[in-house]
Structure 1
């Protein structure tokens, strides 16, 4: 200690005494730390007492109900990494932290209250000064040098070994191998229903024996260049950094890109554009990847370096990665459990390999457990409200299969899942009321379908309104047929998405204005003064990553510029009917909406569905044309989606201590291989399956029906050929949803600012006793609840209706989230930190392995055509619920005139 532990702070020298309670702090901890780095303040390095280190290690042993250390940890190294501040500096840091906590939705409220008590001194806490100083230094060190969040600490070390092998030949070799295999398999079987794919966690699992095998068998052949040894085998064991680098190369680069858009563009079943061959597809794919990678790199200050940008969906992968490669502490026992992490993962995977078969093949009634409808299967209102297939899912036990509802339990914090679920319930009640009130002719269709219908209650036949030669609109045929009508669930979904997009855009820019300003100012300073990209970010992870050479801003800008130029070429050099100026417009709009998308996704794993925006805009700009709508859908949707995916990868690397330039190089290589493989696989698909002209038709003998491509085709025709203006003329309320979003955002932001003013006015005429009672009983509980509400996250829950998505897909997930993300996390922290992520990783791996096996057996193998038609499988698929799912029933019968909706002479024709 730099001062005696039992001496009060006020008597310990000339450290600044700062008033943080009223927010008028004159000097922040970051400023003090920056001065130290600049050399203007050079105090002796403080060292924690040995008994503090031993006390910390014992506290993290799992014996006392606290947290445990990640596998592969050196306990004393963790302790020394945490204790870097003396008691004065630690107290100063905690008081600064209290200013930020109200803006951090993920910060544990119980821990925040404890920090608030500690900041008021040892007498307030009724603690001995030495015990109080230990807790202050420990909590400040954990937040500053490790992480503020227990879920991150469960998978992350507060130190790094720069000499750990990472960018090795064996890591690249396995990454390239799995890119080729996964891209080929996933792309080839993407049109199939049900599909077959290689899950990322399955690849992650196989990389371990393959990597360890290469570490044994590869010879140490190599050479030395510029002082660096380049060899086939770096020596030593297969490391966690090599494991994650290979995993990221294989999983994040093995997707199918714009597969559905290219199928719609090229196949005779759809638009049959012969010019869109291999060269065009490759150009489009490369432009998508460049756009995404470039934008992700530019937005690092918003999506990677901020402490709050956790990217919760990354944590299960990181937990599994450490478990597969590293060992537990010997003899570690938590909450009386002795089983290792690895064995817990294996047990979970084995259980769910077996379990998958029960709800999916042998006892299908429990998958969508619509038991309430069994009482009266043909009761329309009962089936509609409580049904799990085509109904609304208002059922407290709507699924007994965590693979159907709950596999993503650990991918988002409980506060986010709870808020979304509450909004789903509210939205569902509104939907039911609108349906029975026959709003927008809703009663003549199923309540929650994504299909479009004609005015005779049949599925809309697009071929009746298109010219067969060029797929343009036949206006006379359209007038003689019908406009497309949509279920109230689909309309509500679209309207909520429109509201959500504009709400999130305005709210995020207001709520995170200081963060955004700091990020873009940092970018400007970095480019002008060549300062570090980590300037302004001083948490432990950023300080550790400063040891590695940075990826300059201009590298990512070059990649983004290449994507920009190639995108212009894709629309201008081919007969796309899309003007070149749409690409600059797409870039500007995409950049602005990518910011709120990445911010919300990084905090709560909630992505904004932006695809609809790229249907609406070209439908306004080019009504009656399908090609511009499809072009901008492929370019715009991939722009934001790929940027978010790459930003998530960069956070993986940040947490796993993978050098930034290694990530950049591996991503460039992975994307080049990925686009070549996936475009080549599309060409292979066409040559193999187009010989009998049934590719993408429902009677294809190999089940290559292209279900998702049909959905893209329908959307493009609805917005492009028929035009957005005609859709808005048919459903005028939709266009006002764009205005509703920013108005709601402004109202919410103003209410946040007005809160303190409202309180002052309410207590103005109260005496001290009344004021204290008001604060305790009313103001503090209400403000605590409102502080945990993130309106953009909550509103996303209302946008999950349509397409037969209902509460059945989320109810069990909410129960599991409460159990694992709230109750166990708070009451059995050690057990939760050690096992929770791995149990759900096992669930995912077991389910995907068994699903893969099941598909091979029942679709290609000996079980092909087999069915299990006994009551336990058929009871849930009878009655109103199942008919709603198959679009076979509606609340109201067809009117006597023979149609519903607009009269034939009133169809919207705004072309």
Structure 2
């Protein structure tokens, strides 16, 4: 008992049993959330389990800001398609810039309402919120690409002098970009709702949006020295922004750091093996962050190692062997990596000499001369594939396609069936799927009607505009997309990698419609883009799922971005071809090496191989390149062997080895070069092996925000150089870097005494060694 002299006993504000009850309820709620949360650790770490349904996603600010950045993204991406230096319109730049614009508009716009077409909205509904911000990014990501259909339009214009008129071109672009919508709507139950379908690249954007808007989960986190998430982001972003001016502008030798070439720069064999621009890039380094990319920090270790193993196998082992032994005449064609076709003596083959007036192959003219050949390493591209850590990079071929399907069946078949059953019964939903049920879904009828309309317009386009593709051929292309999209989507959602359908579609069309290069390119475009755009849209739907954006708003934003992007893709393509025709078709090389038709030439080369000449002729079993068909067998058998070994030796994680992903590393060319392979491997091992295994708490805390900051800063540097220092806005602003060791350029433009900044190759092809 307390003594009276001790004074009055303080009465607690709340009885102890009430405090215990509240703590118990909080703990129970947290346990309930944890039990329903995503089973994927990375998702649990970065995706908040909160939502505010009162936030408006489609606002006046959304329409204005998204239109501005959709136009900018479509123009810049189409511009880079014709440039010798690659570049991308960073979605991280859009996120930062749109955030600043949105905040500014929220301060200055009046709150009065306007009515347009019967729809009323406020000019300023309140503070710029996270949902409309994410919606802007989603619409821009849909628009900011060089539409695949522009490859067809560019190739026919430059190489056949056949230009489709504006209406036909726009219909071709819009239908190829939109036909995947119906598929996305049907497959969202299997590729969006299940927690196991992660779609890894979205996690970085979730971190960035929440950090910018300082949501509760991110406001409570503290980084090094007590910094907030945003302070850490800006410090890293600004640091890499300043640094990137060195490799991207002042010293491009750091981009292609082919140090072994320096021991013998005038030896042609060294050039072919160690140059990362024209050769294998063996042991090449790159100190340019854009050649590494933030996804290297967080994509699954096994998937990345499979990719790099393929790169080492093809470029560090097969290429040197084939070049030094002159296998299949590798040296005859001048360089190991090129997409051009040649005669046996190494002179270039021109298809126009063997075409009829309707652009079909004239068998008599072609058979009158020697047969056309491709370089052996280009043939390997068709046997394997090129994959990317982004959907825009996906391409596919024989090993990858069968390898992907069989691997998914063997190692994920039971899980997929389980997911299907769960989806049908609505059991075992994670908390994000349950939270999204508060919003009305997009009816399947919307997606089905949209798919039917776009298919009808696609048939009309093919029939009216001399694309050589009959209506049944178009339906066959779309059917192929339907059949293969689900297994490829599962693989991409889980691993971050997945094959495309471009090569398998052109192979099928080559047998079904031989001698028609335009039909082959069109068939490939519709078959490939049906799958590719479907997965792009599904990926964005998953981002909307993580951000708790109403599905109907998502549908509107995606279609809005597609329409705006298609129109400005076409306008940009037309302006550039009109002004740079001779540089793009190779008639007159660009003296400054700024414009190139390499990507168009690669696309056109495939059209010639599969469309004009046909796979039955080029890949005949008794010919030089019949070996490529063994890719189907390899891709089908290897996963089955792995599955059998997993039953015999269950302690080994056989599913981590994916032959489809391994084949991806074997074809960094033709859409790029094998730049900085060594650096990729080092960064991957440091983050995904050492730090993830031995400093996991650090990895959890810093990886995604670090990846976002590095990619954003590097993208900002490229954009500043492109718009200002490179003369993108005006030639008067262009800055010429003085010639020095890091960017040595001779007065005659030959880069003497070396061919390029990687110091690997003799000027004017005057070699002193090698053959």
Give the structure-2-normalised TM-score. Answer: 0.84
Select which of 624, 629, 632 maps to 1:735: 629
User: What is the CA distance between 1:393 and its match in structure 2?
Assistant: 3.1
Matched, 1:346 2:234: yes
1:310 to 194, 198, 204: 198
1:738-774: CA deviation from partner (whole Å, max 9, x where unpaired)? 233223333333443xx2xx46xxxxxxxxxxxxxxx
The equivalent of 1:749 in structure 2 is 643
Kept in 2: contact 1:240–1:326 (CA 8 A)? no
Counterpart in the other structure of 2:579: 689
Structure 2 residue aligned with 1:502: 402
Q: Report the equivalent of 1:255.
A: 145
Name the SS for the 1:167 alignment partner: coil
2:510 and 2:366 mapped to 1: Cα distance?
17
Corresponding residue for 1:273? 162
1:682 is displaced (CA, Å) by: 4.2
Quote how far apart the aligned CAs of 1:331 are.
7.7
> Structure 1 residues 459, 356: closer, same or farther in 2, change over 3 A?
farther
1:408 paired residue number: 295
Deviation (angstroms), 1:861: 3.3
Label 1:868 to 1:547 Cα distance change in 2 as closer, same or farther (>3 A): same
Partner Cα distance (1:224, 1:540) in 2: 37
1:277 Cα deviation (Å)? 1.1
- Spell out, residue by residue over 1:18-53, the C-alpha distance to the aligned partner (whole angstroms, 9 max, x if none): xxxxxxxxxxxxxxxxxxxxxxxxxxxxx9976679
Structure 2 match to 1:872: 742
Q: Which whole-Å CA distance do the structure 1 matches of 2:464 and 2:295 have between them?
A: 43
Corresponding position: 1:296 with 2:180: no
Shift of the alpha carbon at 1:540?
1.5
The 2-side partners of 1:595 and 1:270 are apart by: 36
Q: Could you tell me which residue of structure 1 aligns to residue 394 of structure 2?
A: none
1:616 aligned partner: 507
Asked if residue 601 in structure 1 is aligned to residue 486 in structure 2, the reply is no
Alignment partner, residue 546 of structure 1: 437
What is the CA–CA distance in structure 2 between the aligned matches of 1:722 and 1:886, rounded to whole Å?
A: 33
- Residues 255 and 286 in structure 2, CA contact (< 8 A), matched pair in contact too: yes
Counterpart contact for 1:365–1:876, Cα < 8 Å: no
1:798 aligns with 2:672: no
Q: How much has 1:435 moved relative to structure 2?
A: 4.0
CA contact (8 A) 1:453 1:484 kept: yes
1:471-870 maps to which residues of 2 (within 5 A)? 471-473=359-361, 475=363, 478-479=366-367, 482-496=370-384, 497-517=397-417, 535-683=426-574, 689=579, 698-699=588-589, 705-729=596-620, 730=623, 731-752=625-646, 755=647, 758=648, 780=651, 783=652, 785-800=653-668, 805-806=673-674, 808-855=675-722, 856-859=724-727, 860-862=730-732, 866=736, 868-870=738-740
Closer, same or farther: CA 482–667 of 1 in aligned 2, 3 Å = same
Partner of 1:60: none
* Helix, strand or coil at the partner of 1:293: helix
Further displaced range: 186-195 or 645-654: 186-195
1:488 to partner: Cα distance:
3.3
Asked if structure 2 preserves the Cα contact closer than 8 Å seen for 1:390 and 1:882, the reply is no
**Pairs within 5 Å for 1:121-140:** none
Q: Do the aligned residues in 2 keep the contact of 1:145 with 1:539 (CA within 8 Å)?
A: yes
Please state how far the C-alpha of 1:706 moved relative to its aligned partner: 4.0
CA distance 1:547–1:384, change in 2 (3 Å): same
Cα distance change, pair 521–158 in 1 and its aligned pair in 2 (3 A): closer
- Does 2:86 correspond to 1:219? no
Greater alpha carbon shift after TM alignment, 741-750 vs 654-663: 741-750
Kept after mapping to 1: 8 A contact 2:642/2:654: no
C-alpha contact (below 8 Å) 2:245/2:717 kept by paired residues: yes
Alignment-derived partner of residue 209 in structure 1:
100
Which among 30, 38, 42 is matched to residue 147 of structure 1? 38
- CA distance in 2 between counterparts of 1:742 and 1:214 reads 56
Superimposed CA distance per residue, residues 285-344 of structure 1 (whole angstroms, 9 cap, x where no aligned partner): 23223311111121113321222211111122221111122167668544x532222122
Secondary structure at the aligned position of 2:480 is classed as helix
Contact 1:615 1:719 in 2 (8 A): yes
Aligned to 1:83: 31
Deviation at 1:885, TM superposition (A): 12
- Structure 2 residue aligned with 1:243: 133
Say if 2:202 and 2:543, in contact at 8 Å, map to a contact too. Answer: yes
User: Conserved in 2, the CA contact under 8 Å of 1:374 and 1:876?
Assistant: no
Closer/same/farther in 2, CA of residues 165 and 642 from structure 1, 3 Å limit: same
Mapping for residues 49-198 of structure 1, pairs under 5 Å: 82-84=30-32, 142=34, 144-187=35-78, 190-194=81-85, 198=89
Deviation of 1:468 after TM superposition, in Å, equals 8.3
Is the alpha carbon distance of 1:383 and 1:196 closer, same or farther for their aligned partners in structure 2, counting shifts above 3 Å?
closer
Distance 1:242 1:877 in 2: 49
Contact 1:503 1:741 in 2 (8 A): yes
1: CA distance between counterparts of 2:71 and 2:270?
50
Give the Cα–Cα distance (whole angstroms) in 1 for the partners of residues 764 and 499 of structure 2: 28
Mapped to 1, the partners of 2:763 and 2:305 lie a distance apart of 27
Q: 1:151 to 1:282 in 2, by over 3 A?
A: same
SS of equivalent to 1:270: helix
Q: Deviations over 1:534-581 (max 9, x none)?
A: 824511111111221122223222222222222222223332222211
Contact kept, 8 Å, 1:306 with 1:537, in 2: the verdict is: no
In structure 2, relative to structure 1, the CA distance for the partners of 1:671 and 1:887 (3 Å cut) is farther
Q: Secondary structure at the match of 2:159?
A: coil
Measure, in 1, the Cα distance between the counterparts of 2:469 and 2:688: 48
Contact 1:224 1:230 in 2 (8 A): yes
- Gaps of at least 5 residues in structure 2 are 1-18, 385-396, 745-752
User: How well do the aligned residues superpose, as a CA RMSD in angstroms?
Assistant: 3.6
Instruction: Name the SS of the counterpart of 1:452 in structure 2.
Output: coil
